[in-house]
Structure 1
């Protein structure tokens, strides 16, 4: 499998898929620190930079592609944002990805596309945005239901589109992180099972294996320098039983949104009975990344001096590696022998 990664961030997809024998043909990332992580960890893979500057000839030059993966910006879709939807400045970059997918189908024999985003995509613009996502990927206008379900499928002139919602806590990492995954198949999909056909049993299998300890709690008496955590409802996870992901502490993730910055993820440390922000390495473990994956030489300083702030932002903007690995394993079961440009 050869794939192009758009809005790459620090490239959770490649961390997940390199063990499957897949190879990234190119990345597309514009943010400075994330781009530096890509250059440090994957120096042989070119970075196309700003998605707005990619031309049709650039995609044609990549050669054969099996898949495009993209987690376009979620700020305008998230319930925590202003909800400008796909018309917003950031989330509107989805349209640039669709343009690239069309070029890749025309010139590179593209078979698949995988989109990742927040569950707010279901309700943004009263559900019209998700309808647009499905319509653009399937090649036909899709009907608008009264309410979008967390999983489903549709098809159109260009292919079959499936979607499902997965929570990272059931894939072996101690983090509650729900994401929508939309998978488009532009080839011969009629002779295969749906990619997400067995999602009902998925939660139970992973939940039993992880033994996540959860309870509702709140932080009600913070010190003066921790006032931003006052009366936040949190979900408490015991990290001690998670092997390589365990940090030996109790992590508290704010329920209202996913963590992005130092004030969004806090821990109660048993040794000093104090509240502190999670360290970057602990956040990497919550995403299923290798320890210190984002600790790189930065702005002329060695890796040991890499600041926490850009690492925390980059990790929070990324994807949960175990979820991406499972999806990759599902895609690997599909027979790639038959490609077609459209459904007759």
Structure 2
């Protein structure tokens, strides 16, 4: 099975699907660091670059035609943590995803985004996506999948929209398992509280002897609002005034470029300052890049370019439309990244990626339902 990856990032789809025997026909990524990772890890797969400038007609037929188009268009202006600009912001690149599918007409497509896509512009943005794909003849199914239930240590809810050309039942079979669904499953918070209680490690007042020994000060440097850890040993991090709380550990510092939010097993996010937590017996550190890779299900060192050949990467990445200043800048960056790869772009690349185990599950479901099975 062949696939085309749009908004590729560091290619969670390829890490997930190549073990299934699938073949990437092309990537489409414009940011320099993820593009360098692609050039290093998949030197023989073309990166088409700026999606707004791609002519998709050559992928609409013949050996280059993919069976699946996959991609998560930018989520920043859909996210509830952003400015909620909707399709007027970066998330408007959703139309480029639609244009690619419209031209190529693959048998199946997978679109990923944040749950905020449901409510952006009072639901109009997502309705427009559904309307456009329905008009092309795709049967559609969508579902919010949480990476914590696929074997990674973060709560990461994402919307997945699957379209199958002329076959709405197959789309539903890919995303849903009706024979195995329970509708009375307790929430993840309730489950964590239950496990903490069994271990005798619940919060203060519930036999939480451990909690009594783990008093730490939690808040942002210089006072002001910080993070309050509540409820259990895998507790929620919420915004609050600085105060003494009970907590085992928090990963992050005021200079971190990646952090876990929502709760102590929260979603991996990009940029911004993370809460500072400290205490007499405990020191707090930031996430390491390799931990960010693991949080998304990537192999260790997937985003580490140290030791790669910068000249070889330059030959794969340089475009004909680059002027001399752009080429010089790219060379300088590649030499820096290949000499000692910095943490910051690795954090960003991991935070913007999909979770590999979720993508693998979707790929397995696509393969399982191929041919009407």
Regarding TM over 0.5, the answer is yes
Q: Is the contact between residue 268 and residue 292 of structure 2 (CA under 8 Å) also seen in structure 1?
A: no
Structure 2: segments with no counterpart, 5+ residues: 197-201, 204-210, 236-247, 252-258, 307-332
Q: Is the contact between residue 57 and residue 104 of structure 2 (CA under 8 Å) also seen in structure 1?
A: no
Q: Which residue number in structure 1 is paired with residue 108 of structure 2?
A: 112
Distance 1:196 1:302, change over 3 A: closer
> Is residue 313 of structure 1 aligned with residue 333 of structure 2?
no
Q: Which residue number in structure 2 is paired with residue 45 of structure 1?
A: 45
Q: Which residue number in structure 1 is paired with residue 218 of structure 2?
A: 221
Please report how far the alpha carbon of residue 204 of structure 1 lies from its aligned counterpart in structure 2 after TM superposition: 6.2
Q: Is the contact between residue 220 and residue 231 of structure 1 (CA under 8 Å) also seen in structure 2?
A: no
Q: How does 1:267-286 map to 2 (within 5 A)?
A: 273-286=282-295
Please report how far the alpha carbon of residue 138 of structure 1 lies from its aligned counterpart in structure 2 after TM superposition: 1.3
Distance 1:224 1:12, change over 3 A: same
Please report how far the alpha carbon of residue 86 of structure 1 lies from its aligned counterpart in structure 2 after TM superposition: 1.8
Please report how far the alpha carbon of residue 232 of structure 1 lies from its aligned counterpart in structure 2 after TM superposition: 5.2
Q: Is the contact between residue 250 and residue 269 of structure 1 (CA under 8 Å) also seen in structure 2?
A: no
The Cα RMSD (Å) is 3.7
Distance 1:129 1:42, change over 3 A: same
Q: Is the contact between residue 237 and residue 250 of structure 1 (CA under 8 Å) also seen in structure 2?
A: no
> Is residue 17 of structure 1 aligned with residue 17 of structure 2?
yes
Distance 1:267 1:138, change over 3 A: farther
Distance 1:190 1:292, change over 3 A: closer
Q: Which residue number in structure 2 is paired with residue 71 of structure 1?
A: 72
> Is residue 123 of structure 1 aligned with residue 133 of structure 2?
no
Q: Is the contact between residue 249 and residue 267 of structure 1 (CA under 8 Å) also seen in structure 2?
A: no
TM-score, structure 2 normalization = 0.71
Distance 1:91 1:192, change over 3 A: closer
Q: Distance in 2 between matches of 1:11 and 1:271?
A: 42
Q: Which residue number in structure 2 is paired with residue 299 of structure 1?
A: 334
Distance 1:99 1:254, change over 3 A: same
Aligned residue pairs total 303
Q: Distance in 2 between matches of 1:319 and 1:4?
A: 16
Q: How does 1:178-197 map to 2 (within 5 A)?
A: 178-190=157-169, 194-197=173-176
Q: Which residue number in structure 1 is paired with residue 130 of structure 2?
A: 134
Q: Which residue number in structure 2 is paired with residue 245 of structure 1?
A: none
Q: Is the contact between residue 268 and residue 295 of structure 2 (CA under 8 Å) also seen in structure 1?
A: no
> Is residue 290 of structure 1 aligned with residue 286 of structure 2?
no
Moved more, 58-67 or 268-277: 268-277
Q: 1:172 aligns with which of 151, 159, 173?
A: 151
Moved more, 320-329 or 301-310: 301-310
Please report how far the alpha carbon of residue 188 of structure 1 lies from its aligned counterpart in structure 2 after TM superposition: 4.1
Q: Which residue number in structure 2 is paired with residue 322 of structure 1?
A: 357
Q: Distance in 1 between matches of 2:182 and 2:110?
A: 22
Q: Which residue number in structure 1 is paired with residue 94 of structure 2?
A: 94
Tell me the alpha carbon deviations over residues 17-41 of structure 1, each in whole angstroms, 9 at most, x when there is no partner: 1111111100000000000000011
Q: Is the contact between residue 72 and residue 113 of structure 2 (CA under 8 Å) also seen in structure 1?
A: yes
Distance 1:223 1:187, change over 3 A: closer
The structure whose Rg is larger is: 2
Distance 1:332 1:272, change over 3 A: farther
